[in-house]
Structure 1
Amino acid sequence: MQFCTTVFAEEGSSDYEPVTITLNLERSGLGENVEYTFTEMPDGVVASGDQMADFFFDLGLEKQMVGYTKGSCWSRVSEYPARDEVPQLLEPGMGLTNMSKEELVETGCDFLMGWDSLFSDKNFGSEFCNENGISMYFPYVCSDHATFEDLYKDYETLGAIFKVEDIAAEKVQAMKDTIEEVKNTLGDEVYESPISVFVYDSGEDAPFTACQGMPGEIIKYAGGISIFDDIEAGWATPSWEEVVERDPDVILIMDYDGDVEEKTEFLKTCEFTKDLKAVQEGRIYSACCSDMQGSAGSANAIRILAEQLYPEMFQ
């Protein structure tokens, strides 16, 4: 395994305690890990998508941001005024890969946060980022086997880099408190016999669905279990026949940009899903895609999902 070490700002700030991070970018096709040592705080953050932007909004780091994209997976967290104050670099629905390298450099970006595919050679690869003084950040929570511990690690890491450790710790504790409240409300019996859930993200010829990783973790905390929990990946594309065979109790639609109604109609008319008991019984719910992948709203997503699965326990 190769390591590429990049040290930013050789002089650094005398009162800035250096922070070293190692990113696993093997999934992106780079075939290497990338290590950074920060010797001063980045002040040109670009976040790729609402999922990434919410980390910075939640930590109060909007002044360090020079822009973000909403992407196609929109956040439902509404209490951040900075969402309308920080420049959106592209039209809502468009991803950062629609920007040219020259356009990204012109923003003054020195810290780029996104999924590992963003840093593949065909997009903004390590060579390009190194040449232009841009540090790459692929969240730990986006790995195939991520848990809330990885989300906490992202908060702690970003807190150290941007010197908001106390705020990061408060946010992590708030998440833990929310999860504990849900667990106490549901009780042990629910977790011993969880409701089976089919997550419908997208796809008509075959469904793109959540299995393990962060989405699987959120479902489990909410008292459910993905019908594809046996697949060793965060997301996968099984067949419709497999969905029918596993006959879920509930269908959970990933809400991107208000497309739940359209997806619901598809499930009600699709030859494979229209006769599923979840469809026949009207047990079709939705969850914010951004939160389900791991972000500021993930702990609250557990509460929202648990209230949908077990409404009688939250009256």
Structure 2
Amino acid sequence: MKYTLSALALAASAGAALADTTVNSCNREVTFDTPPKAAISNDVNLTEMMLVLGLADRMVGYTGISGWKTLDEDMRAGVEELPELSAKYPTKEVLLGADADFYFAGWNYGMKVGGEVTPETLAPFGIKVYELTESCIHIGDKPKVSMDDMYNDIANLGKIFQVEDKAAALIDGYKADLADFTASLETVDDPLRVFVYDSGEESPFTAGRYAMPTALIEAAGGKNIMDDFQKSWATVTWEEVVERNPEVVVIVNYGNVTAEEKRAFMMSNPAFANLDAVKNDRFVTLEYVEATPGPRNINAVKKLANGFWGE
């Protein structure tokens, strides 16, 4: 059989389009022969990554938002055509019932180590899982958190869904925006000591070395006082916080206890009276969706910097 050059070019192009796509997901490689058509994302920040890439029409729903958080106007508009399949973490039956072929989640972002929903338990049902990069510390070693964790997830989603150009443009825009902003910040010899207060009164739940706020705080000219804590999001003691004496407290706003209630708890507790942050009433609030990896991280850096140094 004879082939013209144009026919060969078309065949080569078709072959390229059908080539398998492989991405690294924590300690695994995941291969896709076609882009997912029935995807589910868990948690508000992961869902926003899908939406910012224009993938709503490849999704059959989302999970894990309303059980803990509320949607702002932008998020409501983005998911108005999609059902929330589970208010908190989904069960395997929820994912199977939606005929899902892809689950974008993370460890402690929709999956638990040893739980019923994991890449291994979903594989026999044809549901492929991509894991949030920040969360990989829960199942092995990884470098200290950085903005690259978020960029990596956007890039990998771009590969998985074959929207690489859009992902690359987003990442380039985020990097340029952040570089322009941080270039305007004055260089300081001693970064501000910052504590991240997520929740808890008896013992505070906070961000350690591997949680996104550490990278956000550093970009804004501060230093997380718990950046030597070899965890992602975890519990510490108030004694450790007092000993390290933060100059600023970053409150993560979500759940039944409001940011103002968390601030009031710290301001009124005699145990914290000598903290520099309390004496000077220096608190900055980040919404959950800003403090976790996702498209709002660049604006979160700006918000932190303005709280640290003023407009």
TM-score range, shorter chain: 0.7 to 0.9
String of CA shifts for 1:48-102, please: whole Å, max 9, x gaps: 1101101101101000111112152556682773232221223xxx322xx4322
Cα distance, 1:235 vs structure 2: 2.9
Partner of residue 110 from structure 1, selected from 101, 119, 122: 101
Q: TM-score, normalised by structure 2?
A: 0.84
Q: Distance in 1 between matches of 2:244 and 2:70?
A: 30
Which residue of structure 2 aligns with residue 8 of structure 1?
none
Q: Distance in 2 between matches of 1:224 and 1:61?
A: 35
Q: Residues 242, 221 of structure 1: CA spacing in aligned structure 2 closer, same or farther, 3 A cutoff? A: same
Deviates more, 1:41-50 or 1:138-147: 138-147
Deviates more, 1:210-219 or 1:274-283: 274-283
Which residue of structure 1 aligns with residue 264 of structure 2?
265
Partner letter of residue 298 of structure 1?
N
Cα distance, 1:223 vs structure 2: 0.9
* Unaligned residue ranges in structure 2 (runs of 5+): 1-13, 138-143
Q: Distance in 1 between matches of 2:264 and 2:62?
A: 32
Q: Percent identity among equivalent residues? A: 32
Q: Distance in 2 between matches of 1:295 and 1:235?
A: 16
Partner of residue 228 from structure 1, selected from 198, 215, 226: 226
Q: Residues 128, 236 of structure 1: CA spacing in aligned structure 2 closer, same or farther, 3 A cutoff? A: closer
Q: Residues 103, 65 of structure 1: CA spacing in aligned structure 2 closer, same or farther, 3 A cutoff? A: same
Q: Residues 230, 76 of structure 1: CA spacing in aligned structure 2 closer, same or farther, 3 A cutoff? A: farther
Which residue of structure 1 aligns with residue 128 of structure 2?
135
Matches within 5 A, 1:122-271: 122-144=115-137, 145-187=144-186, 189-190=187-188, 192-213=189-210, 214-257=212-255, 259-271=258-270
Q: Residues 77, 301 of structure 1: CA spacing in aligned structure 2 closer, same or farther, 3 A cutoff? A: farther
Q: Is the 8 A contact 2:30 2:130 kept in 1?
A: no
Partner letter of residue 84 of structure 1?
E
Which residue of structure 2 aligns with residue 28 of structure 1?
none
Partner letter of residue 126 of structure 1?
P
Q: Is the 8 A contact 2:196 2:213 kept in 1?
A: no
Which residue of structure 2 aligns with residue 22 of structure 1?
24
Is structure 2 residue 38 aligned with structure 1 residue 38?
A: no
Q: Distance in 1 between matches of 2:95 and 2:59?
A: 13
SS in 2 for 1:89: strand
Structure with higher Rg: it is 2
Partner letter of residue 57 of structure 1?
L
Cα distance, 1:143 vs structure 2: 3.7
Q: Is the 8 A contact 1:251 1:283 kept in 2?
A: yes
String of CA shifts for 1:244-264, please: whole Å, max 9, x gaps: 111111111011247212211
* Unaligned residue ranges in structure 1 (runs of 5+): 1-12, 25-32
Q: Is the 8 A contact 2:23 2:160 kept in 1?
A: no
Q: Is the 8 A contact 1:75 1:291 kept in 2?
A: no
Partner letter of residue 205 of structure 2?
F
Q: Distance in 1 between matches of 2:291 and 2:307?
A: 15
Note the aligned Cα RMSD (angstroms).
Answer: 2.2
Partner letter of residue 124 of structure 1?
V
The runs of at least 4 consecutive aligned structure 1 residues that moved more than 4 Å come to 73-77
Cα distance, 1:45 vs structure 2: 0.9
String of CA shifts for 1:17-53, please: whole Å, max 9, x gaps: 31112322xxxxxxxx443210001011111110110
Q: Residues 169, 110 of structure 1: CA spacing in aligned structure 2 closer, same or farther, 3 A cutoff? A: same
SS in 2 for 1:113: strand
Q: Distance in 2 between matches of 1:194 and 1:76?
A: 32
Partner of residue 87 from structure 1, selected from 67, 83, 86: 83
Between the two proteins, the alignment pairs up a number of residues equal to 285
Cα distance, 1:221 vs structure 2: 0.3
